[in-house]
Amino acid sequence: MSMISNVPFYCHIQLWSVSNYHWYLKQEIQSSKTTPTDETTPTHYTGVVWDPIVPLHLHTLLNNGQYIQYNWKRGVVTSTSLNVNNNSTVAVIDGEVLLLTPFRDVIIPPPMSHKRLMFPSPVVMATFCPTPYPQRPFYSTV
């Protein structure tokens, strides 16, 4: 599901998904604050539509005439090493919260989780480090 907010001028687009009766904010796309040619005119989305043929392709149009196409792929973020210390951790993005569950130690179904990390803005991406860095098992980008 996509949602545009800040009516009447759309400043950002929010992408949501639902699982186990819980809505997750997966991504928030901000429009640029001003147009490249006019620093005083704020930009906002005037059109947003999902591609009717190609799944996970979003077409957007800004008030300055700029067209932007976003493309996504579905994926699950898990720790991926054959190390005996691997906790088989899964990361789930939910807006400003990153939900972490080490399935080696506990089995907790979403939307619950073993740990919740709070961030000041919506999380964009989470990824795990390779095995050589056990003290830092994952990174998150906000």
> How many structural domains comprise the chain?
2
Q: Is the pLDDT of residue 1 over 60?
A: no
Query: Residues 27, 42: one domain?
Result: yes
Cβ–Cβ < 8 Å for 63, 43: yes
Backbone φ and ψ of 40, nearest 5°: -100, -15
Query: Residues 86, 120: one domain?
Result: yes
Query: Residues 137, 85: one domain?
Result: yes
Owning domain of residue 25? 2-71
* Strand bridging mode 89-94 / 138-141: unpaired
pLDDT per position as a tens digit, 5-46: 545 554 788 888 888 888 988 888 887 665 555 666 678 888
Q: Is the pLDDT of residue 92 over 60?
A: yes
Burial code (b: 16+ CB inside 10 Å, e: under 16) for 114-129 equals beeeeeeebbeebebe
